[in-house]
Amino acid sequence: MQKSANLFLNFFILLAGITVLRSQEISATIKDSLTKEVIPFANIYLSSGKGILSNEEGVFRIQLNDQISSKDSLSISCMGYKTVVYPVSKFKDSIIFLPSKTIALGSIILSNKNLSAEDIIKEVKNNIAEKYELDLTHKKIFFRESGSQEFKKLRVKVKKSSIKEFNQAFWDSTLLKIPRKNEWHTEVSGSLYGDFSKDNQKLEIDRALELEDKKTTAIFNNIETAFDTILKQNIKKDSYFKLRMGLISTKLEDVELNSSEKDTLTPNEKLVKEKESFSKRRKRIITNIISVLFEKEMLSISVLKKSNRYDFERVDFTYLNNIPVYILKFKPSGNVDYAGKLYIDADKMTLLRAEYKNIKDIRDISLLGFSFKHYFKEIAIQFKKTASGKYALQYLEAIDQFETGVNRAFSILEKNKVVKGRNKQNELKMELNFRTNQFQKYQMVVFESERITQEIFDAFKEKPSILPVNLIQYDPTFWEGYTIIEPNQVIKKFKVDD
């Protein structure tokens, strides 16, 4: 009997433990109470100050800690909606409905000062350094990169090859191995030190996840190895290559022959190189997307930088918590590409949020058998007010889709001035015909932003020490204990086929 009692006791202890584990996070979907549509990018904050945004599908997940008490609360706010507050201890809903916020006419009259849309834009562009945190900061960030590539066409026809291994059968078998569609997602959590310039950026990664079919990567690596092996067996030392396309001829620079740094590195050195490469690529992408926001104490996002080429219209007035907000729509009046909305702090005349996308092809080039079409771009930028009263970057999302194609004949010649006799050593003539569609999406959330001195920035040294954990299926437990923006359904459903 005592044994049975202990068994039941252990069972209830285990059950209690499971309950505690489950209570360490809160997850829900935010929807409009009237339309029942999801509300993306709403602000979710604990009374302790910890916060997160709902994703593009209105879903959020926020981690709790041991210090959470029965007195702590969770507030959810979004522009145009009433802020709702829940006691954390009683939060059980999987769907949260936000009611629209009614705007009193008197508030509008008192707040808008009868400014036109053009007047508001002029005010927004003034005194940027006083409105935004542009100095060096330490930012806790989560960054996600998603991408896909699909070959619509991929053909090679060999016209001439002095290297017998590069015959038509080789190219046919090689192209058959290349996957026609590939998808990948990379997520990192860490710290970003710097301002908004390209030169002042330092990144420290704490944890990283990679969703990708490594078999696809292995295929490309094997193809590269096969190319390298064949070239080493057939080309001369001190050779160089020339690429010819009709009457156009150009020397291929920086092509190293008969040598490979990878062959001389130890396993530990290769690992160090891989970590450095992973960190450098993430920092380069992050730097590129945030450095366009400000330039010399000016807001330099395209819509405001070229505001004279847009028509702006005041379409609404709302509140974000207690902040009065103008909503402006804009569309092109000149030769520009975008249309969208701006949300402006009506008191501080500060941009809170910008969202826009292209209404025509951004770039469409077709020349000498080469084509490139950048046919979709969508941007969302959101700032939040800090304790200092200035605004800091909270969220940035950039989506791009483009199509690339080649359909023309070309030749690659190996030339060598050292070898006696004829200058030309080998030649490969072929016709290449391919077209590919590519998609890329970047999301960055800034959870905390703390101003730092130049001395602290200079003293911090980047020491890349993290490689991503590769998974073939999304694991929702991977980020337990970390604050992230919830993945969308595409990522949640990612799975590598056997």
Cα torsion at 299, 303, 304, 306 (round to 10°)?
120
In-domain check, residue 110: no
Query: pLDDT tens digit string along 238-275?
Result: 788 888 877 677 776 555 544 455 567 788 888 999 99
Q: Please state, for a pLDDT cut of 90, what percent of the chain lies above it.
A: 53
Amino acid at 346: A
| pLDDT value of position 102 | 63
In-domain check, residue 370: yes
| Residues 139, 277 within the same domain | yes
| Residues 167, 69 within the same domain | no
Here the CATH number for the domain that contains residue 79 is 2.60.40.1120
Query: pLDDT tens digit string along 391-401?
Result: 999 999 999 99
| Structural contact between residues 187 and 208, judged by C-beta atoms closer than 8 angstroms | yes
For all residues of the chain together, what is the average pLDDT?
85
| Residues 86, 136 within the same domain | no
| Residues 181, 256 within the same domain | yes
The neighbouring-strand residues paired with 100 are 81
| Residues 254, 361 within the same domain | yes
Mean pLDDT of 114-131: 92
| Residues 83, 140 within the same domain | no
In-domain check, residue 119: no
Query: pLDDT tens digit string along 140-153?
Result: 999 999 999 999 99
Domain count, the chain: 2
Full residue range of the structural domain in which residue 230 is found: 128-492
| pLDDT value of position 255 | 52
In-domain check, residue 68: yes
| Residues 71, 157 within the same domain | no
Domain boundary among 102, 120, 140: 102
Indicate if the pLDDT at residue 304 is higher than 90: yes
Query: pLDDT tens digit string along 426-453?
Result: 888 999 999 999 999 999 999 999 999 9
| Residues 54, 147 within the same domain | no
Indicate if the pLDDT at residue 178 is higher than 80: yes
* Distance in angstroms (rounded) separating the CA atoms of residues 203 and 194: 9
Q: Of 218-232, 267-281, 302-316, 349-363, where does mean pLDDT reach its minimum?
A: 218-232
Helix runs in 159-266, H state only: 168-177, 214-234, 261-264
| Residues 48, 169 within the same domain | no
Bridge-based pairing state of the strands 391-415 and 370-385: antiparallel
Longest pairwise C-alpha distance within the chain: 99
In-domain check, residue 372: yes
| pLDDT value of position 13 | 34
* Distance in angstroms (rounded) separating the CA atoms of residues 208 and 304: 35
| pLDDT value of position 294 | 94
Q: Would you state the structure tokens that stand for residue 193, as one six-digit string? A: 């030190």
